[in-house]
Structure 1
């Protein structure tokens, strides 16, 4: 079973993604803020993918991404997709520069679209490895 870590502070959006990913056969772990995400990732084992909001309490998604993609992090090779409503070009560039594998605007995609994008990415990744 594939494992996804969903880091989202909005309970409605978080619950929606938990439901969609669970129905698609994923084991879903969640965090509601940036600090909780950093703490939870330590004891949860390996994830196949991380879905990370940018505007989070405690620590921003950008700060969390920096830690997740740092050379010593256990998550440095885990695909991270930003899921946000921030369409600012500078933030998008920064996320990719820090190692994000994708950047999704919540208002432009349905949960089904997000799952399809992630599945396509993982399928491509599996062909390469």
Structure 2
């Protein structure tokens, strides 16, 4: 399922996140800065949305999602789109996680809860 928050944005962000509170927070922060946000709630839809939306600027993807994890989705996305910036986000950060997530094809990694300033800084870094 896709939902879009439209503004006069030139940058489109795919938010792949299954936690409703996180979705509300990320959408509020990002759309408040003028970004268009497309939301999906599982890894399978994330891969398909990337395939079908060549204008995406950044993907902000949760690591732990239903149907296909963020790591599995990132590996699949990298097989057909090696240049799209992928930012992993998770609440489950353990020693060694950052390295394995970056090895899976993500460009960057943030842990939840993430501040508004940190979220915007990491997204803007790839725009």
Structure 2 length normalisation: TM-score? 0.85
- How many residues align? The count is 118
Shift of 1:96: 0.9
1:43 equivalent in structure 2: 52
Cα deviation code 1:75-119 (max 9, x no counterpart): 320111101012123332111112211110013x21332112221
SS class of match (1:48): strand
Kept after mapping to 2: 8 A contact 1:33/1:59: yes
RMSD, matched Cα: 1.4
Q: Deviations over 1:16-69 (max 9, x none)?
A: 111211111111111101111122222222211110100100000110010111
Give the conservation status (yes or no) of the 8 Å contact 1:20–1:112. no
Q: Could you tell me how far apart the structure 2 residues matched to 1:39 and 1:48 are?
A: 15
Which residue of 2 is the match for residue 61 of structure 1? 70
Structure with higher helix content: 1
TM-score by length of 1: 0.83
Following TM superposition, the consecutive aligned residue runs of length 4 or more in structure 1 with deviations greater than 4 angstroms are none
Unmatched tracts of structure 1, length 5 or more: 124-129
Unaligned runs of 5+ in 2: 1-9
Aligned partner (choices 87, 103, 108) of residue 109 of structure 2: 103
Query: What is the DSSP-based 3-state SS (H/G/I as helix, E as strand, rest coil) of the residue aligned with 2:96?
Result: helix
